[in-house]
Amino acid sequence: MPAQASQPGRFDSHPVVERLRTLCRALPETSERSSWGHPNFRAGRKTFAAFEIVGGRPSIAFRLPAGEVEELLSGRDFFATPYGRGLWASLWVDHEIDWTVIDRLLRRSYRVVALERMLAAMENAPTSEAPSHRRARPTSHRRAKPDRTDHPKAALHRPAEPDRTDQPQARRTNQRTQDRTDQPQARKK
């Protein structure tokens, strides 16, 4: 699926957004949505990065594992994303920007939310900043069904017992009675 553009917003011509958009769209099945007045970048349906203004300063937010968020927050230019609940870290981008660090964080953030097929496509994709228009090949999402012969409903799918019409009537009746008595009875109160 080609990357989708966000709705026109006030940040579309911001140079940081343009470069961020290029890096994000290079990842498989990435789309851009405008939410809460700023661009968000998604892998499938999950957001992995966002550009936003916090306290009047531009920043990029990254979705990362909690341990990595804590590590980044010890850095000078990082801060806890206000809505992040410990799973997002933001980087101030109102000074000289190290785009290799941002690219590394974007890829790490993408890996946190992307599906396995997206990750496989990312591993096989070229490593340029140009957007990739290659479509990821879908893989089978079906898992092998476990053997559930011990499940109570499995009896519904078992082959029928052999027909006992070759037995005399009295013997068949006795067999049915015995079959009923082998089953546990519900206690009556």
Residue 89 and residue 70: Cα distance in Å, rounded?
8
The pLDDT confidence band at residue 105, using thresholds 50, 70 and 90, is: very high
What's the rounded Cα separation, in Å, for the pair 93 and 38?
A: 15
Residue extents of the structural domains in the chain:
15-124
- pLDDT, residue 14, reads 76
The answer as to CATH 3.10.20.30 being correct for domain 15-124 is no
How high is the pLDDT of residue 160?
Answer: 54
Lowest average pLDDT, out of 108-117, 134-143, 179-188, goes to 134-143
**Least-confidence region, from 77-86, 87-96, 172-181:** 172-181
Q: How far is CA 85 from CA 80, 135, 143, in A?
A: 9, 33, 33
- Give per-residue pLDDT as tens, 9-30: 566 667 899 999 999 999 999 9
Q: What is the pLDDT of residue 31?
A: 93
Q: How is residue 37 written in tokens?
A: 């007045």
φ and ψ at residue 89, rounded to 5 degrees: -125, 140
Helix axes 99-113, 116-124, angle to 10 degrees: 140
- Which one has a higher pLDDT value, 98 or 6? 98
